[in-house]
Structure 1
Amino acid sequence: MAWLQLRVNATSATAESVGDAMSECGALSVTFLDSKDTPIFEPLPGETRLWGETDVMGLWQASADMDVALNYLQNQFGQLTYKLEALEDKDWERAWMDNFKPMKFGHRLWVCPSWCPVPDPAAVNVMLDPGLAFGTGTHPTTALCLTWLDGLDLVGKTVIDYGCGSGILAVAALKLGAARVIGIDIDPQAIQASQANAERNQVADRLALHLAGEAELPVADVLVANILAGPLQELAPTISDLVKTGGQLALSGLLMEQQDSVKAAYQDQFENLQVSEQDQWMRIDGIKK
């Protein structure tokens, strides 16, 4: 079966109403997308968080009369900026799998999905499939952190992965020689995903996982935090206290225009702060004073 997809540009004030109207005129599903690719914070329970500029995407069967749907929407909201297109029916699972290939970071670290052969059995291979939690290596912020970890001597070290998501950074650190890793996240699904990926990679015995604020944490030799610029600034005192003197820190999840404010939040506690960039996403790393 083929499908018709209608994408309407809306705002945070109108997006939910546009989505409701799409459902009323026959949309089988409605999705909200950030039209400017701006990260947002995790919503509170029962809260719908929408972006400043939001695209609302509705999906209809190919036989639907889209003139009727468009007239209904424009009667409700006036002239709309929209795009209507036909979607080819295909094996979406197969297409998705075909687009996720093994990826190399630094000199020795690979992230490999389970359905692909390992390119280099002698390398450090992290086996990980996309899932419910953020972090597969495809996003520049994750790639920046993986490359940084690959360049460290982690043998015997204690590492904290603050905002562990899928556990990709925690598992990579353990496979790169860390003695133990503590993973922290605010999302219970992230804790579950990290545990499952650690078990798949046979490193779960050296990984401790906690919801944020629910455990007293030790100071670490290395801390990596791949979250967002706002939380990185708000958590600067907490994160700084978790790194031992001479320990190493990497912060990611921030855009180019956010680097100065994040650096300012850490510069009193850390020296040699360096900035690395990939596709306009940044990583800041330094040494605890």
Structure 2
Amino acid sequence: MDYVELTVQAPTELAEILVAELGEVGFDTFEDNDAGFCAYTTEEAFDRDAVAEIMSRYEGLGELSYSNRVITRQNWNAEWEKNFQPLIIAGRVSVRAPFHPQPAGIEYEAVIMPRMSFGTGHHETTALMIENQLSLDHQGKRVLDMGCGTGILAIVAEKLGARQVLAVDVEPWTVENARDNAAENNCHTIECRLGGAEVLEGEAPFDLILANINRNVLLEDMHAYARLLPSGNPILFSGFYEEDLPKIAAEATRQGLRYERHLTLRSWISAIFTKL
């Protein structure tokens, strides 16, 4: 399956509005840049007319331009390798590709090749999730990673001491990539599974749940996660902007989850809730 990358140049306030609008028409991954942002969806889900209609509605609110291109599986690695740089998160976690040298003096390391998947740690939400993970006890825990992407959060979970990790994603390429990355990191407790919330049916409870997806999926599927979390245990959410936190928190309250705290980076959020 190939992806469509939509590149949007817009002022910050307008960009935040457009991200919310594009999230309603199939785009589920966003990366900010100095000029605006890039949005991603599958080629199958891409609706050119819907994008054009959204853009036409906001033309008068600021300088706005956009373009799109197809990213094939064949050229994804070349594009990624050209731009990817090693990353240190919270001074404790190194994220690098196999072709980068191993840094010295770092507690935890994740070696990632993304193929057609997203989530290298460079996006704000992934980095925020990892920073929040570092504040939680993983030792001996059973962990669920929903929307696993490259598998980076699952890998970090095992390195932090998790005894078992279930990593779930809706894209076949992503699940394949997460499996390869788990093997590259010598992780042996991670099961990678294709699907959405429906594949959790019949699962035993989890001690910790990680869900870095997007606002709409979180709101729709939160009930499925909450029922698998015992009282007193944490769940981490990300993939949404600061202005979406009240909606996420309201749904969390309905599902018996209590807001604890959150981290922000360039308007993105990772929030920790606890099951009551």
Give the distance between the partners of 1:248 and 1:155, measured in 2 at CA: 14
Residue equivalent to 1:33: 6
Specify whether residues 49 and 105 from structure 1 end up closer, same or farther in structure 2 by C-alpha distance, changes over 3 A only. same
Residue equivalent to 1:238: 224
Q: In the TM superposition, what is the alpha-carbon distance from 1:100 to its structure 2 partner?
A: 2.1
Give the distance between the partners of 1:48 and 1:272, measured in 2 at CA: 35
Amino acid at match of 1:55: Y
Give the distance between the partners of 1:184 and 1:93, measured in 2 at CA: 22
Q: Percent identity?
A: 26
TM-score (norm 2): 0.73
8 Å Cα contact 1:109/1:150 also seen in 2: no
Verify: 1:55 aligned to 2:66, yes or no: yes
Specify whether residues 93 and 173 from structure 1 end up closer, same or farther in structure 2 by C-alpha distance, changes over 3 A only. closer
> Which residues in structure 2 correspond to 1:242-281 (within 5 Å)?
242-268=228-254, 269-281=256-268
Cα deviation digits, residues 43-63 of structure 1 (max 9, x gap): 6894433432272358xxxxx
Specify whether residues 107 and 158 from structure 1 end up closer, same or farther in structure 2 by C-alpha distance, changes over 3 A only. farther
8 Å Cα contact 2:140/2:162 also seen in 1: yes
Specify whether residues 100 and 260 from structure 1 end up closer, same or farther in structure 2 by C-alpha distance, changes over 3 A only. same
Higher Cα radius of gyration: 1
Q: In the TM superposition, what is the alpha-carbon distance from 1:281 to its structure 2 partner?
A: 0.6
Q: Considering only aligned residues, what root-mean-square deviation do their CA atoms show, in Å? A: 2.7
8 Å Cα contact 1:275/1:285 also seen in 2: yes
- Between Structure 1 and Structure 2, which shows a larger proportion of helix residues? 2
Specify whether residues 195 and 107 from structure 1 end up closer, same or farther in structure 2 by C-alpha distance, changes over 3 A only. same
SS at match of 2:140: coil
**What is the aligned counterpart of 1:218 among 194, 200, 204?**
204
Residue equivalent to 2:139: 155
SS at match of 1:267: helix
Specify whether residues 57 and 236 from structure 1 end up closer, same or farther in structure 2 by C-alpha distance, changes over 3 A only. closer
Q: In the TM superposition, what is the alpha-carbon distance from 1:98 to its structure 2 partner?
A: 5.9
Specify whether residues 95 and 264 from structure 1 end up closer, same or farther in structure 2 by C-alpha distance, changes over 3 A only. closer
Q: Which runs of 5+ in 1 are unaligned?
A: 1-30, 59-91
Q: In the TM superposition, what is the alpha-carbon distance from 1:96 to its structure 2 partner?
A: 5.4
8 Å Cα contact 1:267/1:273 also seen in 2: no
Instruction: Provide the aligned length of Structure 1 versus Structure 2.
Output: 226
Specify whether residues 244 and 116 from structure 1 end up closer, same or farther in structure 2 by C-alpha distance, changes over 3 A only. same
Amino acid at match of 1:33: L
Give the distance between the partners of 1:249 and 1:129, measured in 2 at CA: 26
Give the distance between the partners of 2:79 and 2:252, measured in 1 at CA: 43
8 Å Cα contact 1:136/1:168 also seen in 2: yes
Q: Which runs of 5+ in 2 are unaligned?
A: 9-14, 28-40, 56-64, 70-75
SS at match of 1:244: coil
Amino acid at match of 2:211: A
Residue equivalent to 1:285: 272
Cα deviation digits, residues 6-52 of structure 1 (max 9, x gap): xxxxxxxxxxxxxxxxxxxxxxxxx7625246253366894433432
Residue equivalent to 2:191: 208
Greater shift, 211-220 or 41-50, is seen at 41-50
> Which residues in structure 2 correspond to 1:1-289 (within 5 Å)?
33-35=6-8, 36=15, 38=19, 40=23, 41=26, 46-50=44-48, 51=51, 52-53=54-55, 55-56=66-67, 97=81, 99-120=83-104, 123-203=107-187, 205-210=188-193, 211-212=195-196, 213-215=198-200, 216-268=202-254, 269-289=256-276
